Structure 1
Amino acid sequence: MVGEYVCTLSEELQKRAKEEINEDPERRAEDIQHIRDWLKHQPHIKARTDDWTILRFLRGCKFSLQRTKEKLDMFYTCKSLCPEWYKNRDPQDKKMRAILELGTCLPLPGYDSRGRKVVLTRWGEFDPSHIGLSDLMKVSLAVLDVWMEEDEQASVTAMVMVEDCGGLTFSHLATFTPTFAKKASTIIQEGYPMRPKGLNYINTPAAFDTVFNIFKTFMKEKMKRRTHFHGSDLDSLHKEVPKEVLPVEYGGTNGTIEDIKKYWLQRVDARRDWLIEDEQYGVDESKRPGKAKTSADLFGIEGSFRKLNVD
């Protein structure tokens, strides 16, 4: 068996996995093998086929075999059709390093009261005249990929996001184009198995509504319902995300941003070989059965904006 899975979950989390995401320990190995066999018969997909990678996707799709196949295909298709986010992810690269040191994407230590991982993003930390949004996304996705590879609990309990928009200027906001919004929304919602349960915006500038309305066009309905705006009100944020899991800079008791930045620098460095090796996985559209997919198929926005204008 390839990279055989060994469960590290507590009994309580195993129970939750059964109740919330339909995981049957007696059928788990069979389900993993079913997906592995399916991947072997997809001439266009070159995928990781270890137990853990497949299991993460099964969990993210609540053990629906059909949805797992669709999500895996989408994940590897996005990787290949979006090379600017998935190629050259060496954390020792000078540019990558500079962005990593900003700490724009930080999964926080521990979990919230429901056992979920909280991921903090700090969009106002980069200088748009020196750093492009594609480079920022490349680094953010590298951190998220390392986190998901190393965190079994979150594969069951899901995640919550805190988006700090403090420091965002018009120059920042101008880089968040409809094309970027569509691409990011497609990859995160359709490609990743991480099940976001809450989206919390804090420190939003006046012009933020314009940008959010673009993103909202591409958001699933359930994600719109899980979105909360807190302005600069930390008390409001703490009602959704407890102080115990937030850094001191956000009125919390969970270490400092500096400590958390250092931790993720170390983790990404430790996974350098894994990140570099990961670049080989993706799709070869010339081998896809039926019609090849293009960036326009996945990330095209024309139809969405006809709809937006009517609204």
Structure 2
Amino acid sequence: MIRELTPELAEIAKKELNENPKQIANDLQHLKDWIAKQPHLKARTEDQWLIAFLRGCKFSLERVKKKLDLYYTLRTTAPEITLRIKPTDPKFLEFFRLGTCLILPNPKGKLCPRVLLIRAGRYDPSEHNVGEIMCMLYYLVQIMVLEDDIACVLGIKIVTDYVGVSMSHFVQGTPSMLKKMVAVSQDSMPLRLKGSHHINLPSGVEKVITIIQGFLNEKARQRLKIHKNQEELMEDIPKEVVPPEYGGSGPSIPELTEYWVGKFKEYHDWMKVEERLGTDESKRLGPPVANDFMEDGSFRKLDID
């Protein structure tokens, strides 16, 4: 069973996503039957999980199949992102409590995309890797997919704060790593990206942004914005969801961190199952769906202050 949308959200889903409540049961069964016929695929078939993929693909069954296949393929072929730290490992919450990534709350009385906050400068690059941030976001988004109909219908925005980010952080983002990160976040996740916002950029980081843009699709490139200050950021992000550390009136970073720590603990058993899912490429009947993400390279030659 899936949750019933509020009338306002249902109307948006109908207009923007082609959602037809009378057709949902048939679409879900079609996907379950398809998954059962894929010998290589070890995937979830819960209604609430699959409806998120349907909404993210505007109810195109063929697009959903490709996205589901890619999602679970990358679970197997890009473990340095999807399983760099297993969500049931105590080290997972240790890293998460550093505050490198959080999901901000939905504003009361408003329907707008959910906001993800990334603060890469919070981790020590001699002890951790940028892939660990993607791993945190990967599992945060899974919980959001299961619980948040607004995010599933209206999508998400990502805010990246570069305070504390050094050259040691940037050299971890090889082109191969960045390409995989984009594939996981842009191409395989069910939530639609409605914007990416960047603040507190150090000198020279525009070169990295340019490389990242090369991996993005046209819509994602158009929705990428660089903000001069926090006030400019809040022209695009509701002030009531922005933490006070950034000049907003939303919950503080420590409050949000502990809220999501509680969520990870609540979903411990769900995540334990999640760790075992993916693909067995030796059993795949057709050609692989994932692109080649193995190109090597680095940003060591960039001058970033």
Instruction: Give the TM-score, by structure 1 length.
Output: 0.90
2:120 counterpart (100, 105, 123): 123
Local SS of the residue matching 1:18:
helix
- Superimposed CA distance per residue, residues 61-90 of structure 1 (whole angstroms, 9 cap, x where no aligned partner): 000011011101110101111123333755
> Is contact 1:124–1:168 with CA below 8 Å preserved after alignment?
yes
| CA distances 1:134-176 after superposition (whole Å, capped 9, x unpaired) | 3332223222222222212211111111111111111111111
Task: State the Cα RMSD in Å.
Answer: 1.8
1:299 equivalent in structure 2 = 293
State the Cα distance separating 1:213 from its structure 2 match. 1.7
Aligned partners of 2:219, 2:287: CA distance in 1, in Å?
31
Residues 1-311 of structure 1: pairs in structure 2 closer than 5 A: 4-7=1-4, 9-87=5-83, 89-91=85-87, 93-111=89-107, 113-231=110-228, 233-292=229-288, 297-301=291-295
Whole-Å separation in 1 of the counterparts to 2:222 and 2:152: 22
Q: Which is helix-richer, 1 or 2?
A: 1
The separation in 2 between residues aligned to 1:292 and 1:258, in whole angstroms, is: 42
- Quote the residue 1:305 is aligned against: none
Structure 1 window deviating more from structure 2 (156-165 vs 58-67): it is 156-165
Q: CA deviation at 1:207?
A: 2.5
After superposition, give the CA deviation of every residue in 1:24-59 in whole Å (9 maximum; x if it has no partner). 001111111111111111111111011111111000
Aligned residues: 295
Percentage identity across paired residues of the two chains: 38
Q: CA–CA distance in 2 between the matches of 1:61 and 1:92?
A: 30
Alpha-carbon offset, residue 178 of structure 1: 0.6
Amino acid at match of 1:226: R
Distance (whole Å) between structure 2 residues aligned to residue 272 and residue 158 of structure 1: 25
What amino acid maps onto 2:57 in structure 1? Answer: C
The aligned residue for residue 301 of structure 2 is none
CA distance in 2, matches of 1:100, 1:268: 10
Cα distance in 2, alignment partners of residues 299 and 127 from structure 1: 26
1:245-282 CA distance string (max 9 Å, x none): 21111111011111111111111111111111101211
The 1:94–1:26 alpha-carbon spacing in structure 2 relative to 1, beyond 3 Å, is closer
Give the residue type in structure 1 aligned to 2:18: N
**Alpha-carbon distance in 2 for matches of 1:301, 1:187:** 16
Residue 300 of structure 2: aligned partner: none
Which residue type is aligned with residue 254 of structure 1? G
User: Structure 1: which 5+ residue stretches go unaligned?
Assistant: 303-311
* Cα separation, 1, equivalents of 2:196 and 2:82: 24
The Cα offsets for residues 114-143 of structure 1, whole Å up to 9 and x where unpaired, read as 421111111111000011223332223222
| SS of residue paired to 1:299 | coil
Matched residue SS, 2:196:
strand
